[in-house]
């Protein structure tokens, strides 16, 4: 289990390098980039915030998108709450580590004791390497005379695709992804940058709430 | 402005994580919430893919980013690691611009 956790942490460190590079290319300072990884610590939301800022959208559209992407962590928290049974300071610290990878590692264990261990080991290792990777990626990119020469400004959509792909293993999410992509493009010329994302989020929430369960 | 956005977004993301651990589970175990929340990242990430590939601010644009996205899609289908997908897209854009 510890080997698995370290494996995930190393992969996450590589993923953090690209976050650091993309954040630096999007116009965030080194301190802002590092602060984002330390304080937010949830990859998709971080990429979304810097992606929206980097493409000239309003910061607040980026904030809303980041928070909406973070909503899934609340459901992970529910699944983990009975498993971890954390209170007081442990809950305040542990909450920061409630993300895709720690949840997957914890719920795959056979006992509560192992689940707790998996959660904390994965969380701490990931947090360390996520921040280290971010720092290295950002410092290296800030050292470049022009990150555009390396095509880094074209990298964010590829990062979003790589984050999306593992969620498309069934027909329904695939259909929703295609529809969302098209709807966002269709309303793009008529609303300020960043707003198409929020339109798509509202539509999907309405669909989820009002449609009959299958 | 950027700092305020970073701090507010970080606080919101932390608040969601803490709420999941702290609220009575039945509040969030509502069937509609369980069904809808996992769809939100799918919809938003897909919208980010298309808008960031095919637009500059409010204008629809077809440029080297479309080719970079095609290469990224191939890398994803081949199950390449995250860093490879991003690097392949960046390298494609850089190469096409250098031509």
Q: Choosing among B7, B13, B35, which should be mutated to test the A contact, i.e. which has the most A CBs within 10 A?
A: B13
Q: What is the pLDDT of residue A212?
A: 64
State pTM to two decimals: 0.93
Q: What is the pLDDT of residue A23?
A: 96
Q: What is the pLDDT of residue A146?
A: 87
Is residue A62 classed as helix, strand or coil in its secondary structure? helix
Residue for token pair 């198409």: A196
Return the residue of A nearest to B9 by Cα.
A63
Residues of A in contact with B16 (CB under 8 A): 67, 70-71, 73-74, 77
Tell me how many residue pairs between chain A and chain B have CB atoms under 8 A apart: 306
Query: What pairs with residue B59 in β-bridges?
Result: B56
Q: Verify whether the Cβ–Cβ distance A160 to B21 is below 8 Å.
A: no
Q: Verify whether the Cβ–Cβ distance B59 to A28 is below 8 Å.
A: no
Distance, CA of A48 to CA of A208 (rounded, Å): 22
Q: What is the pLDDT of residue A148?
A: 82
Return the residue of B nearest to A88 by Cα.
B22
Residues of B in contact with A95 (CB under 8 A): 14, 17-18, 20-22
Q: What is the pLDDT of residue B72?
A: 97
Phi, psi (degrees; rounded to nearest 5) at A193: -55, 140
Q: What is the pLDDT of residue A214?
A: 56
Distance, CA of B41 to CA of A44 (rounded, Å): 8
Q: Verify whether the Cβ–Cβ distance A95 to B35 is below 8 Å.
A: no
Q: DSSP letter at A153?
A: G
In terms of Cα–Cα distance, which of A86, A69, A96 is closest to B14?
A96
Return the residue of A nearest to B3 by Cα.
A32
| Ordered mean pLDDT values, 10 residues apiece, chain A (214 residues) | 86 92 95 98 97 93 97 95 91 96 92 94 96 97 89 93 94 95 97 94 91 64
In terms of Cα–Cα distance, which of B62, B14, B56 is closest to A67?
B14
Chain A nearest C-alpha distance from B62 (Å) = 12
Q: Chain B 48-67, CB below 8 Å of chain A: which residues?
A: 48-60, 64-65
Residues of B in contact with A151 (CB under 8 A): 64, 68, 89-95, 97
Q: Verify whether the Cβ–Cβ distance B93 to A154 is below 8 Å.
A: yes
Q: What is the pLDDT of residue A40?
A: 98
Counting every residue written for chain A, the total comes to 214
Q: What is the pLDDT of residue B99?
A: 87
Q: What is the pLDDT tens value at each position of chain B, 99 positions in all?
A: 899 999 999 999 999 999 999 999 888 888 889 989 999 999 999 999 999 999 998 899 999 999 999 999 999 999 999 999 999 999 999 999 998
Query: What pairs with residue B60 in β-bridges?
Result: B55
Q: Chain B 65-84, CB below 8 Å of chain A: which residues?
A: 65, 68-69, 72-73, 75-76, 81-83
CA A210 to chain centre: 27
Q: Verify whether the Cβ–Cβ distance A11 to B81 is below 8 Å.
A: yes
Q: What is the pLDDT of residue A126?
A: 96
Residues of A in contact with B53 (CB under 8 A): 157
Chain A nearest C-alpha distance from B4 (Å) = 9
């Amino acid at each position: 289990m510890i080997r698995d956790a370290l494996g995930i942490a190393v992969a996450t460190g590589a993923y953090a390098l690209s976050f650091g590079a993309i954040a630096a290319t999007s116009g965030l300072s080194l301190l802002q980039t590092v602060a984002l990884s330390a304080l937010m610590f949830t990859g998709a939301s971080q990429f979304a915030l810097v992606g929206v800022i980097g493409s000239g959208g309003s910061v607040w559209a980026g904030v809303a998108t980041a928070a909406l992407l973070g909503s899934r962590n609340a459901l992970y928290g529910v699944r983990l709450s009975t498993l971890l049974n954390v209170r007081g300071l442990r809950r305040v610290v542990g909450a920061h580590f409630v993300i895709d990878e720690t949840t997957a590692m914890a719920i795959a264990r056979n006992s509560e004791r192992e689940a707790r261990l998996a959660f904390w080991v994965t969380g701490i290792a990931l947090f360390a390497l996520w921040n280290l990777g971010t720092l290295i990626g950002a410092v290296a990119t800030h050292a470049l005379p022009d990150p555009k020469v390396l095509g880094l400004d074209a990298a964010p959509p590829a990062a979003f695709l790589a984050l999306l792909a593992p969620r498309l293993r069934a027909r329904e999410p695939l259909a929703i992804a295609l529809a969302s992509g098209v709807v966002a493009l269709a309303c793009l010329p008529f609303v300020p940058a960043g707003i198409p994302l929020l339109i798509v989020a509202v539509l999907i929430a309405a669909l989820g709430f009002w449609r009959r369960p299958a | 402005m950027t700092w305020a956005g970073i701090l507010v977004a970080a606080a919101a993301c932390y608040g969601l994580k803490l709420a999941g651990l702290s609220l009575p589970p039945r509040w969030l175990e509502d069937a509609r919430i369980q069904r809808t929340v996992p769809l939100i990242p799918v919809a938003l990430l897909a919208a980010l893919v298309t808008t960031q590939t095919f637009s500059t601010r409010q204008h629809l644009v077809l440029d080297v980013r479309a080719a970079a996205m095609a290469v990224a899609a191939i890398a994803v289908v081949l199950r390449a690691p995250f860093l490879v997908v991003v690097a392949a897209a960046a390298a494609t854009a850089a190469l096409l611009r250098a031509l």
